[in-house]
Amino acid sequence: MQITNRKKRSPFLMLTCSALLLPFIILTGCAVGPDYQKPSLQAPLQWSEASTGDAIWKPATPVDGKTKGEWWEIFGDAQLNVLEQQALANNLNLQAAVARLDQARALAQIARGGLLPTLSLDGNSTRTRTSANRPNSGNDNSVRSTLKNDNSLALTANYELDFFGRVRRDIEAGKAGEQQVAADFENVKLLLAADVAAGYFNSRSLQAELAILKESISIQSHILDVVRARHEDGVANGIDLAQQELIVSNNRSQYQQLLRQYSEQQHALATLLGVNAADFSLTDASLPAQLPQIPTLLPGELLQRRPDIASAERAVAVANAQIGIARTAWFPGFNLSAADGFESTHLNALFDAPSAAWSMGLAFSQTIFDAGRTSGREKYAVAAHQQASASYRNAVLSAWQEVEDNLSSARTLKAAHADAENASRAATQVADITEDRYQAGLSSAIERYTAQQNALTAKRQQQQLDGQQWINAVLLVKSLGGGWSADKLAINGP
């Protein structure tokens, strides 16, 4: 249904139209659909690892709670800091996340535009000749060809009256969607930084392990030379020689496998940094001397510090707004339009007073029957909200599990590393004593090399656990949200 009026305009018609639009804007009622409520989930009061007291973490203090975007600096490695900045500047996945965030902001801007009228300037100039052979629709038997001009210029305003809140729910969904993508962007940054740090420490650990294994192969080769000489002298049997050849071959095979892992890790780091694998190489260096203490938040505070949790929660807000949008289809839609302009058959008289024209109209539409489409859309929106709520709760539970796993790993790795350090110290002491005995002629060369090999084996085990500790420290920081805070999304609660 549409009501229109068209005649000569008053000079201030457009101002009048604007004044008429304002009450309709103010009179828009409450938006239909449920108001958003964050899904509830009871957080544990403390981590289960809190009572152990020997992990590489400490309770967070008010100072620790401040946002620290460059969280990797706690590891105190200058080269890692350089790699992190390079990854943030060049990583292609991060650039794609920036584009997705720009898209979400544009969609939110489109939604906000629904609050205001649309204005358009329409012009037309036509010259029409009718056919003399057209059917005669009147009483006059003669049909003549006519020639006429039509020139018009009008400013048109259209406004959807948001009586039932469709536009406002659309804006609500757009804002929550923008915040969701913003949290996704922060999560991409967090995962990128964690992957770079973990890859870097893994590379350092592999470098050290390769050096130890290379030295071990050298010692085993010396033992093989001794056994081969003893075999040639008839002192050692063929089994001893074959066993030592097996040990040397196994060590060399392990070295090649470690070398493959190291190469693949370099290639992965290059991709994270946004460079070709052939153009990247990591200089040799050792792991930092001491693990940092990592401030650990309470489980409830984790909801504010994990961007993936914030993203899941914002998805629930989007789904909640979509329920309201779906329900507005049960109600009529109203649209107010107004036009003010000029129309004339002669272009040179277009702006004369007699050429003035205006129109106003109020239209509404109401669906009477749609074979269950509206009902189906509402059910779909409700189910989507239930799915988003379940996904949010699962994201929170998974986050708590991730922190607990990393805290447990930190504790057990620390204990295992201490035992491996004691074993390495003891093996080194045995090797030193055996060396003294060998120099004094009290131990054989095989005993000497065997003691050295045992010391290297213990040292390699210690090195492996050291690398695992550093990688787990990175994973713990990541599971705690790095330096991110939900305050960046400007929402009350995650």
Pairwise CA distance, residues 87 & 272, whole Å = 6
pLDDT, tens only, 79-138: 999 999 999 999 999 999 999 999 999 999 999 998 889 999 999 999 998 887 877 766
Residue 363 is assigned to a structural domain of this protein: no
Task: Tell me the H-state helices in 328-372.
Answer: none
Please report the pLDDT score of residue 79 as a whole number: 94
Q: Does 386 fall in a domain?
A: yes
Q: How far apart are the first and last CA of the chain?
A: 45
Indicate the pTM of the whole model. 0.83
User: What are phi and psi for residue 117, nearest 5 degrees?
Assistant: -65, 155
Q: What is the CATH number of the domain that holds 263?
A: 1.20.1600.10
Q: What 3-state class would DSSP assign to 142?
A: coil
**pLDDT of amino acid 308:** 93
Q: State the average pLDDT over residues 427-438.
A: 91
pLDDT, the chain, mean: 85
Say yes or no to pLDDT of 249 above 50: yes
State which residues form the domain around 322.
33-117+164-331+372-489
Compute the average pLDDT of residues 480-486.
Answer: 77
236 within some domain = yes
pLDDT of residue 18: 47
Res. 19 pLDDT band, cuts 50 70 90: very low
Span 360-389, pLDDT tens digits: 999 989 999 999 999 999 999 999 999 999
| Residue 101 placed within a domain | yes
Give whole-number Cα distances, 452 to 102, 216, 286, in Å: 60, 8, 22
The Cβ of residue 312 has, within 10 Å, a number of other Cβ atoms equal to: 26
- The Cα 322–Cα 34 span in angstroms is 10
Which pLDDT score is estimated for 138?
64
Closest CA to 68 of 398, 396, 402, 477: 477
Tell me the CA distances in angstroms from 334 to 1, 18, 19, 129, 155, one per residue in order.
10, 17, 18, 39, 20
For the segment 288-308, the average pLDDT, to the nearest whole number, is 84
Residue 492's pLDDT band (boundaries 50, 70, 90)?
very low
In the chain, the number of structural domains is: 1
Q: How far apart are CA 344 and CA 150, in angstroms?
A: 6
Rounded to whole angstroms, the Cα distance separating 338 from 336 reads 7
Residue 41: pLDDT band with limits 50, 70, 90: confident
Q: Give a yes or no: residue 405 inside a domain.
A: yes
List Cβ neighbours of 196 (8 Å cut-off, separation of 6 or more). Answer: 72, 80, 83, 84, 87, 269, 272, 273
Element (H, E) at 239: helix 238-273
Please report the pLDDT score of residue 446 as a whole number: 85
CA dihedral for 87, 92, 97, 102, sign (positive or negative): positive
* Look-up of token digits 């071990």: 216
CB atoms within 10 A of CB 66: 9
Is residue 13 within 8 Å of 340, Cβ to Cβ? yes
Residue 144 within a domain: no
Query: Residue 483: inside a domain, yes or no?
Result: yes
Give domain status of residue 211, yes or no: yes
Among 156, 149, 148, 151, residue whose Cα is nearest residue 124: 151
Closest listed residue to residue 269, CA positions, set 201, 367, 189: 201
What's the rounded mean pLDDT across residues 317-322? Answer: 95
